[in-house]
Amino acid sequence: MITDVHAVAVPVADQDRAVAFFTGVLGFGTVLDAWIDETTRWVELAPAGASTSVALVAAGDARPAAVDTGIRFSTADAAAAHDSLRAAGVTVGELLLGEYAPPMFTFDDPDGNRYYLVELPEAGSD
């Protein structure tokens, strides 16, 4: 019945600032950026080759920003990504190196939304 995950929505206070972060810092590409009506803009961004995108939706009372999104992104090298994001001024958590789990860390977007980055060696093969 369900064959894939198309998009996950993340509330942001400023869609332009969020687009700049995702494209300029994280290297995502634009999948769709369109006005649905006079007040609603739909923005979808994704890493190259990804089947799931992140929809940056306008935050509001019913959908506040600064949440733990639960979204886990993958990378081929968590330590290098951690260093790169920290050097770009992104708020990053401790790089966790465990015996029973892959290297990973958290990072926050400019609105304080929390994401996770997990090292999966096959992530670099695309």
Distance CA 9, CA 57 (A): 6
Average pLDDT of span 73-90? 97
Q: What is the pLDDT of residue 124?
A: 59
Q: What is the pLDDT of residue 125?
A: 56
Residue 112: is its pLDDT beyond 90? yes
CA dihedral 124, 9, 29, 109 (to 10 degrees): -80
Centre a 10 Å sphere on the Cβ of residue 12 and count the other Cβ atoms it contains: 27
| Domain boundaries, given as residue ranges, for the chain | 7-125
The candidate with the shortest Cα–Cα distance to 81, out of 66, 62, 103, is 103
Both tokens of residue 74? 């993958």
Of 61-65, 77-81, 108-112, 119-123, least confident by mean pLDDT is 119-123
Q: What is the pLDDT of residue 90?
A: 98
Average pLDDT of span 53-66? 95
CATH superfamily of 7-125: 2,3-Dihydroxybiphenyl 1,2-Dioxygenase, domain 1 (3.10.180.10)
Distance CA 80, CA 84 (A): 6
Tell me the percentage of the chain whose pLDDT exceeds 90.
90
Q: What is the pLDDT of residue 122?
A: 73
In eight-state DSSP terms, residue 121 is G
77 alpha carbon, distance to own chain's centre: 16
In eight-state DSSP terms, residue 49 is T
Residue 81: is its pLDDT beyond 60? yes
Residue 114 — φ and ψ, nearest 5°?
A: -100, 135
Residue 115: is its pLDDT beyond 90? yes
Amino acid occupying residue 73: F
Average pLDDT of span 28-47? 96
Average pLDDT of span 104-120? 97
Average pLDDT of span 25-52? 96
Both tokens of residue 18? 């969020």
